[in-house]
Amino acid sequence: MEQSWRWFGPDDPITLPQIRQAGATGIVTALHHIPYGVVWSVEEIEKRKALIAADPSLGLRWNVVESLPLHEDIKLGQGPLDQHFDAYRQSMRNLAACGIRTICYNFMPILDWTRTDLAYPIAGGGRALRFDAVKFCAFDCFMLQRPNAEADHAPELIAQARTWHDAASESEKSALLVNINAGLPGAYERYDIPGFRQILDRYKGVGQEELRAHFARFLREIIPLAEELGMRFAVHPDDPPRSLFGLPRIVSNGEDLAFITGAVPSQANGVTFCSGSLGAGPMNDVPALARRFAPLIHFAHLRNVAKDADGSFMEAEHLGGDTNMVALMQALLAEQHRRKNEGREDWRIPFRPDHGHELLEDVGRKTHPGYPLIGRLRGLAELRGVMQAVSQLEHRPLH
Ligand code: DNO
């Protein structure tokens, strides 16, 4: 397994030497300054690559793109689609020309990962990300006032949400809006309430069937070229894996992954196995999903969540929470073993500690929500321990 780390580029307050000290050698990054839909030029890609490799003593390399984002039109199935697909394919050619071949992307409509709290206090003074079903319901029903929103939430939740909303100050409400928007790195698109209503309006008529059809079209447009270029595409699951704002979500469970990987069957059409996103769904047995889709796992995000009965969840310690991380690691190392025995050169699965609690000096530092230094360093260290133990006990190759 290739120990990797998400780096947001030169503006990230976490430096490359710090990442090396955390023990990672793979750098997962993206050209966040380029707006969605615009081609990534060879020059821009080379610039980022050179930055990562500038100090050879660090031994870092750009191993995964996260993400090569899709223009919203592609998800909506509207607008100048041919132009968008051409631009996307050109970025793919340019990345392959620079030797970067593993690409993470998602197919979540409008919002990427969604939380209601970005700094929820944990014991001892640290902070964590949290999704609170009551606050989310309050936002949907009483702040956004989405028509028929009540139909999508349990009556007990709506009652609690009303109480929260009636008691909340203006600043608590605006913080909630900011938090719900926070999962959009990169193009930094942010919506206010009218903006939200407008973009939701554009999705009228796009249900699960339509969104799946748009996804299948995207795959037909890009997977043949990915095969030609020797690239591995890896879709990131929905986070959380449930419908939000009445929008369909189609990368949430085993059935969804089977549809996607079956739509254009190919080694190039694979999965980013995000244990935290999948783990937030009560229907998902995370290690079983890893075993089921193992040959198509091109990249792994490892983290854990602790779920509540009402649909809320907390981001837990990497080895805490509801997912058995040892069983998951066993599945990933077994898959690596299989790849190595096949004689594949690319047998190592890149993974990164996903998210992390803000711990110690992390608190108050302006890092991206979920991406502090010490919390992730701790997560990676714990995962490395599990990896070592499983590989020794089961005689699996490590790296
Ligand atoms: C959250 C991340 C996601 C991921 C995208 C991939 O922390 O894992 O934002 O980068 O969904 O496209």
Q: Which of 32-36, 95-99, 161-165 has the lowest mean pLDDT?
A: 32-36
Choose the residue to mutate in 5, 32, 112, 271 for probing ligand 1, maximizing ligand atoms within 8 Å of C-beta. 112
- Torsional class of 135: left (φ above 0), alpha (ψ -120 to 50), beta (otherwise): alpha
Question: In the predicted model, what is the mean pLDDT of the chain?
Answer: 96
Decide if 361 contacts 374 (C-beta within 8 A). yes
Q: Is the pLDDT of residue 158 over 60?
A: yes
299: β partners: 272
Can you tell me the distance from the alpha carbon of 95 to that of 116, in angstroms, rounded to the nearest whole number? 35
Residue-level pLDDT at 6: 98
Q: Is 187's pLDDT higher than 70?
A: no
User: Is the entire prediction scored with pTM above 0.85?
Assistant: yes
DSSP string, 331-346: HHHHHHHHHHHTT-TT
**pLDDT exceeds cutoff 90 at 57:** yes
Alpha helices in the chain (DSSP H): 16-22, 42-53, 72-76, 81-97, 133-138, 155-167, 170-181, 193-202, 208-229, 254-263, 275-279, 286-293, 325-341, 373-394
Could you tell me the distance, in angstroms and rounded to a whole number, from the CA of residue 252 to the centre of ligand 1? 14
Give the per-residue pLDDT at 188: 57
Query: Which pLDDT band holds residue 362 (cuts at 50, 70, 90)?
Result: very high
For residue 159, the Cα-to-chain-centroid distance in whole angstroms is 32
> What is the per-residue pLDDT for 398?
80
Q: Residue 181 has which token pair?
A: 């928007």
Q: Please tell me the predicted confidence (pLDDT) of residue 399.
A: 74
Is the pLDDT score of 299 beyond 80? yes
pLDDT of 242 reads 96
- pLDDT value of position 58: 98
Q: In the Cβ-directed half-sphere of 36, how many Cα atoms lie within 13 Å?
A: 18
Minimal CA–CA distance to 379: which of 133, 182, 183, 126? 126
Query: Which residue numbers are catalytic?
Result: 236, 274, 301, 354-355, 371
Residue 75's pLDDT is 97
Q: What is residue 235's three-state secondary structure?
A: strand
Q: Which residue is it, tokens 């004689």?
A: 343
pLDDT digits (tens, 9 = 90+) for 280-297: 999 999 999 999 999 999
Separation of alpha carbons 363 and 126, rounded Å:
7
Beta-carbon contacts of 394 under 8 Å, excluding residues fewer than 6 positions away, are 330, 333, 334
Classify the phi-psi angles of 364: left when phi > 0, otherwise alpha if psi is within -120 to 50, otherwise beta. left
Nearest CA to ligand 1 atom 1: 113
Q: What is the mean pLDDT of residues 152-157?
A: 97
Taking CB atoms and a 6 Å cutoff, what residues make up the pocket around ligand 1? 66-67, 104-106, 112-113, 183, 236, 301, 354-355, 370
Take atom 6 of ligand 1 and give the residue whose Cα is closest: 105
Q: What is the pLDDT of residue 119?
A: 96
How many angstroms separate the CA atoms of 53 and 284, rounded? 39
More confident residue, 356 or 196: 356
Q: How far apart are CA 349 and CA 330, in angstroms?
A: 13
User: In this structure, which amino acid lies at residue 73?
Assistant: D
Model confidence at 311: pLDDT above 70: yes
**Residue of the CA atom closest to atom 2 of ligand 1:** 113
Q: How far apart are the first and last CA of the chain?
A: 6
Residues 92-132 have pLDDT tens digits of 999 999 999 999 999 999 989 999 999 999 999 999 999 99
> Ligand 1 centroid vs 10 CA: distance in angstroms?
19
Please check the confidence at residue 189 and state whether its pLDDT lies above 70. no
